[in-house]
Structure 1
Amino acid sequence: MSTRRGTNLPRMGDFNQSVILEAIRLSGDGLSRIELSEATGLSAQTVTNITRRLIEDDLIAEAGRIINGPGKPRITLRLNAGSHFSVGVHLDPALMTFVLMDLTGRVVERVTKRTQDKDPRAIVDVMARTINELIQAAGIDRALVAGVGVAAPGPLDAEKGTVIDPPKLQGWHRVPLRGILEEATGLPVTLEKDTTAAVVGELWTGRGPADDSFVFVYLGTGVGAALARDGEVVGGSSRNFGEVGHIVVDAEGPPCSCGARGCVEVVCTPQAIVEQAERGGVFLGDREGTDADSVDERFTQLCEHAAAGDVAALDVLREAAKRLAVLIAALTNVLDVDRVVLGGPFWSRLSEVYLLELPEQLERRSATRAIRSLPIAGTVVGDDVGAVGAACVVLDSVLTPRASHLLLKA
């Protein structure tokens, strides 16, 4: 993977430090100072000065010597994995996922908890206890935890750290989640949309080019989207990019609360797909409840029926894929990205059917099909992409160069 280029102009220390850290992180096995200079375009003196400071700050360490032809052996520099950690929490109406990640992006500890109590304060108490248990289980010094990243369904007030009436989380009316969790844990907390966090996780753990551009379609209890452009997340003016629930994908579909028919919210979500399966007679017996746990269980059964060759179940998932393709085509035609990534807690159960159905459906609707094909793939992170992405958001602020760092103050 290519890395971003630094600049040898004065007053660029923060940006160049991030460029160096990112280059070392992406290399996997580490880089020598000469290799860092070649990869980043920074002068040998600049690299030497920055790496000396990073070693003093314990962010990187010398990891052995490599002899490569005549001359002095080269000293390999690697991230000091145990110097910083972050916690990632994914708040989903059905399940909360917690991960503890080291500086290299490796998940050290992981645990899940059912989102059983719908009271926000009770849920935050469970979060705080679980975060403490996670850190203790890893046996690390709490002072090494840089912070907690929380991925939550939108919309969010990013400036205030508030969750605002997410459709599937009853009772969450303007809950100041960031402040409450900071008070409960004593750790800095970053609140991010689950879809946006997923893109950060994909950028961190993927091996795309430095200018990677893609749409991420998030399949959780709800359906959302996020965008990476030129290797960076596009959050939108209010940091709520990707609220796609009321985009119409089936004009003949069921009515939606917004007054339209066939919106993503009523045809593409797991609950909508389960209801379609129930109407189609896929399941025997009475209809299940519409709470998150019941939908999750029913959805798993539906996917298992489809995997076993149940024609009715397969037809339901194929129809859902066609409707999702309408959404994806609308997004990719407007945004003109290089590829599409799908992920989220429900993705692994859908992946086999969707990856068979979506490419052809998207090809037919693509405005650029005469020029190129648009690759579609599942996330490299897996079902934990929300929690992993939330943890990456914390580390990302330390390790990833931002164009905004290049803005000079007069």
Structure 2
Amino acid sequence: MGDFNQAVILDSIRRAEEGLSRVELSGSAGLAAQTVSNICRRLLDAELIVEAGKEASGPGKPRTILRLNPKGMFAVGVHIDPALTSFALVDAVGTVLESLEQPTDLASPPDEAVAAMGREILAIIERSGVDRHRIAGVGVATPGPIDAANGTVVDPPHMPGWLRVPLRSILAEVTGLPVVMDKDVTAAAVAELWTGSTGGAANLIYVYIGTGIGAGLILGDEVVRGSSGNVGEIGHIITDPYGPDCDCGSRGCVKVTCMPETLVAEARELGVLPAPDPGNPSTLPQDVTALADAAADGNVAAADILARSAHRMAGAVSVLTNLLDVEKVVFGGPLWPALSATYLAQVPGLLRQRSVTGNVHAVDIAGTRLHPGGGAFGAACLVMEKTFSPNAAQLLLDAKPASG
């Protein structure tokens, strides 16, 4: 109960931009004044919060305002995309202090590649000068599917050889830090919620566009993870029943109609993009950007490719919005910027046509307000969520049935 109450107080202070007094905390949290005072004393001693001056509010003694201490706690985030791996060191209020991006090593054995990530994390902490004891942990956002209970990555489609890689245990051993692991789409949804970027929407779908495509889910202001942590695998929603064959046995799934690599392949087939140069290979992000640039420059074939993808994506997203009755859809992910102009111009109208609740409420469509390539920031938010956000599961007692 004490841990839960402390998380309630921390989360309340974090959400209040101007800070809160102990009296305000007692009222908002529904806790006794002495309980709040004791918790605040512990948080002040731990330097997680600071006293930020006094504020008069009518007659009586001025109230001392409490705010989060930005330097009281830090988190490291690692986002693993099949194309790029990014790192970020983030302080308690979400400021990115250090960041790094490098190609994902798919040539080395997975355990060696992950161990190298761990060494990079230690190097980032060393360069930053941050007290290692202030690092609350490492958050890792990875493509699915994952085995959340065991902290393993389970054969991601675009990462050959990564079969049941014990990602969490390797990073914990190399860094000596607690490690939290989640799917990339879930980490993105956590970042939207933790930073208050949802715009007040309590029910939201986050559509992640990277090397793969997935969906993060927020319902009732809570991030939904599913029974195994694999919510949001939307690759086999059919968007075009006459489309290409998919390895699942169906035709026209998201996997074969909307994935960035399929758009690039179509662009090469139509001559919008040149054939790959073995001597100077391009990356997927470069190819998608080149396709978007061609469309912006008036290339009709390029514009048609992007328009078709927007139409198909709207079909997939409408399945989700109609099923879940959300009020907002946010697009993001490392490859989102290249597609944003076309999608934001076309998807809202298409969704309105397909919405079964159109006469009840609108569905807001937006691009993420966070840095589109900030997957590592989202991973760091996994640590912040675990540290700051009250979790009702903490209130459950480990009760055992009586014997006899």
TM-score, normalization by structure 1: 0.92
Counterparts of 1:40-79 in structure 2 under 5 Å?
40-79=29-68
- Aligned equivalent of 2:172, options 172, 182, 201: 182
Computed over aligned residues only, the root mean square deviation of the Cα atoms, in angstroms, reads 2.0
Q: Is the 1:118–1:170 Cα contact (8 Å) retained in structure 2? A: no
The whole-number CA distance in structure 1 between the counterparts of 2:297 and 2:252 is: 29
The whole-number CA distance in structure 2 between the counterparts of 1:134 and 1:278 is: 39
Q: Which residue identity lines up with residue 65 of structure 1 in the other structure?
A: K
The whole-number CA distance in structure 2 between the counterparts of 1:220 and 1:207 is: 20
Residue in 1 aligned with 2:358? 369
- Aligned equivalent of 1:215, options 191, 205, 223: 205
The whole-number CA distance in structure 2 between the counterparts of 1:60 and 1:292 is: 50
Residue in 2 aligned with 1:160? 150
- Secondary structure of 2:208's match? strand
Q: Is the 1:343–1:385 Cα contact (8 Å) retained in structure 2? A: no
Choose 14-23 or 345-354, whichever is displaced more.
14-23
Residue in 2 aligned with 1:282? 272
- Aligned equivalent of 1:147, options 130, 137, 143: 137
Q: Unpaired runs of 5+ in structure 2? A: 400-404
What do residues 335-378 of structure 1 show as CA deviations (whole Å, max 9, x unaligned)?
11121111110111211211111100111111111111100111
Change (3 A) 1:159 1:364: same
The whole-number CA distance in structure 2 between the counterparts of 1:248 and 1:70 is: 64
Query: Structure 1 residue 209: deviation in Å?
Result: 7.2
Residue in 1 aligned with 2:186? 196
Q: Is the 1:89–1:98 Cα contact (8 Å) retained in structure 2? A: yes
Counterparts of 1:36-115 in structure 2 under 5 Å?
36-115=25-104
The whole-number CA distance in structure 1 between the counterparts of 2:153 and 2:135 is: 24
The whole-number CA distance in structure 2 between the counterparts of 1:286 and 1:399 is: 49
The whole-number CA distance in structure 2 between the counterparts of 1:37 and 1:210 is: 24
Point out 4+ residue stretches in structure 1 off by more than 4 angstroms.
207-211
The whole-number CA distance in structure 1 between the counterparts of 2:68 and 2:329 is: 30
Residue in 2 aligned with 1:263? 253
Counterparts of 1:385-396 in structure 2 under 5 Å?
385-396=374-385
Change (3 A) 1:402 1:49: same
Q: Unpaired runs of 5+ in structure 1? A: 1-11
Q: Is the 1:29–1:78 Cα contact (8 Å) retained in structure 2? A: yes
Query: Structure 1 residue 63: deviation in Å?
Result: 1.4
Residue in 1 aligned with 2:232? 242
The whole-number CA distance in structure 2 between the counterparts of 1:191 and 1:37 is: 34
Q: Is the 1:210–1:231 Cα contact (8 Å) retained in structure 2? A: no
TM-score, normalization by structure 2: 0.93
What do residues 247-281 of structure 1 show as CA deviations (whole Å, max 9, x unaligned)?
11111111111111111111111101111222333
Residue in 2 aligned with 1:310? 299
Q: Which residue identity lines up with residue 80 of structure 1 in the other structure?
A: N
Q: Is the 1:94–1:292 Cα contact (8 Å) retained in structure 2? A: no
The whole-number CA distance in structure 1 between the counterparts of 2:205 and 2:163 is: 29
Query: Structure 1 residue 207: deviation in Å?
Result: 4.5
Residue in 1 aligned with 2:120? 130
The whole-number CA distance in structure 1 between the counterparts of 2:151 and 2:167 is: 6
The whole-number CA distance in structure 2 between the counterparts of 1:314 and 1:322 is: 12
Q: Which residue identity lines up with residue 287 of structure 2 in the other structure?
A: R
- Secondary structure of 2:20's match? coil
Residue in 2 aligned with 1:121? 111
The whole-number CA distance in structure 1 between the counterparts of 2:245 and 2:334 is: 26
Q: Is the 1:209–1:231 Cα contact (8 Å) retained in structure 2? A: no
What do residues 271-323 of structure 1 show as CA deviations (whole Å, max 9, x unaligned)?
0111122233322x42568x995322211100111222322211111110110
Query: Structure 1 residue 47: deviation in Å?
Result: 2.2
